[in-house]
Chains A and B, each alone.
Chain A
């Protein structure tokens, strides 16, 4: 069996060398498709991770009345911790002072504005998250209406979890992911067809050879396998070329900007590069094998 494979691989290499122009054409085709696919996957994964982060960051805020007693506050805290579906370690008490400090931080140099206000208008609050972001509304409802909480007003729900806002982000992200996914599928099909076409040219040039092979008693697989290995070699070569191109263009064009943008901010990351490389190479293998395997079919009817 081992010598069998050696034979097939040698056959494939021989014909790759013998049909150099076709080989180059196939490799470049894969390279271009894989390069675009690589960008798509990186972007898509970024959007996906970003939307997940938005989802995970959905925080429920329960605002307290300024007049709430310590007993009421303790009771609210107890209710929140005992509500099923609340992330226990996410619960945080934000006092009035914390709230104003935070606002100052957010406003930065504009924080002077705060000095125009009389006293501290910000309420104290509890912040917590649901274990499952999709359960946010349910969890929030369990806390609503407790004594000591500020009563909800039109446009100012309490507890507030930014209902609608997160939903919109998620929906947009979902659409983007879907579009990218669709593009990926179209690209993959285009790649299979393009490689199939390139390989068809190479097989067409050698169809007499295939005919002779069949006449001396070669099985379809015996004729097909070297061609498929050929396709796989082209696919992998193209994928490797694409990853090199991706890495180089990232380093020269984007790396600096991305690093500044992401410095210390805990921003979502795109897909890890090694994983992307593995994905592209596997896709190259698959596309190469599929492209040549499918194309071979019609030439084997001898």
Chain B
């Protein structure tokens, strides 16, 4: 259905692969106030730099101004009304191109989750049209839904890892569901786990890992198929700022490799610094769709 990109070189570029490194646990008792202040300042600077490095850069796959760029996601007057007249989405029309990076912002209940559920065909639109990868989801047969989902990587705030399986097994499961051969699984899984920087945790269970590490596992699982579309629902929502940066860098590299990234988020700093396309939802409608927007509407714009 969807065309699968081969793992791009961008993923392997050493400068992009660099990990921000483990978070230092400060031995506060031994340090002066000034020193702590300086370190905090230092961290803020590094963080700002990291975000700036990812800001507004247009990958070669991103052609925002090309007149007829291929749509990855296309909504036409999509409306979802839940039982009891609860509005999920109302009359949303938008297009997200292949290779784009899009932030989806808006307060709780504004329709972000509905939007994501529609794309995964967890629910069907009440009216209107939803297309993913050029395929209308309304006419997509139930039996084809698993195939759709194999082409969409998903990263969630609560990681959604299988709790009784090791890191390796969690990632391998995504390949097993599509009947991949054992040799392929044994080759691909350690490779992607290495890529997200967890080679030494490969046999650990999820509860033995930190939040950031668990999110890396879930990203590895989402990306092991090299899906053309990656949907992230507040991937950094449960993580501290330092760890978030690492996760964002990982997602950034994945986007650079040609994967469309749609990220629902509440992280204001992230959105403001990265200056990507921002779609703001409010009460189920698109309130704003900026090419290079901030978390809230720019004053000068």
Contact = CB atoms under 8 A, between A and B. Distances in A.
Contacts of B160: 208, 211-212, 215
A15 B165 CA distance: 10
A212 B162 CA distance: 7
Contact of B177 (A3, A209, A219): A219
Nearest to B221: A216
A217 B164 contact: no
A18 B164 contact: yes
Interface residues of A, number: 19
A212 B161 CA distance: 7
B58 to A, nearest CB: 30
B89 to A, nearest CB: 20
Contacts, number: 49
A193 interface: no
Interface stretch (B100-108, B132-140, B146-154): B146-154
Interface in A174-229: 208-209, 211-219, 222
Contacts of A218: 146, 173, 177
B163 interface: yes
Interface centre among A3, A217, A219 (most CB of B within 10 A): A217
A215 B149 contact: yes
Interface centre among B120, B146, B154, B161 (most CB of A within 10 A): B146
Contacts of B154: 215-216
Interface in B145-191: 146-151, 154, 160-164, 173-174, 176-179, 181-182
A15 B164 CA distance: 9
Given A218-B146, A302-B122, A213 B177 contact: yes
Interface in B182-218: 182
B189 to A, nearest CB: 13
A214 B177 CA distance: 9
A168 interface: no
B177 A216 contact: yes
A214 B117 CA distance: 13
Nearest to B159: A212
A3 B182 CA distance: 8
A302 B154 CA distance: 15
A273 interface: no
B207 to A, nearest CB: 14
Contacts of B174: 216-217
Interface residues of B, number: 24
A7 interface: yes
A217 B176 contact: no
A202 to B, nearest CB: 12
A4 interface: yes
A302 B142 CA distance: 11
Given A18-B164, A209-B163, A217 B221 contact: no
Contacts of A15: 164
Contacts of B150: 216-217
A15 B162 CA distance: 12
Contacts of A208: 160
Contacts of B151: 217
Interface centre among A18, A215, A302 (most CB of B within 10 A): A215
Nearest to B172: A7
Contacts of A212: 160-162
A213 B182 contact: no
B182 A219 contact: no
Nearest to B143: A219
Contacts of B177: 213, 216-219, 222
Interface string A127-154: 0000000000000000000000000000
B173 A216 contact: yes
Contacts of B147: 217
A215 B120 contact: yes
Contact of A213 (B148, B173, B181): B173
Interface string A5-35: 0010000001100100000000000000000
A216 B182 contact: no
B233 to A, nearest CB: 11
A271 B241 CA distance: 73
B179 A4 contact: yes
A209 to B, nearest CB: 5
Given A212-B160, A212-B162, A218-B173, 13 more contacts: A3-B182, A7-B176, A14-B164, A209-B164, A212-B161, A216-B173, A217-B148, A217-B149, A217-B177, A218-B177, A219-B143, A219-B146, A302-B122
11 contacts: A7-B176, A208-B160, A212-B161, A215-B120, A215-B154, A215-B160, A216-B174, A217-B178, A218-B177, A219-B143, A219-B177
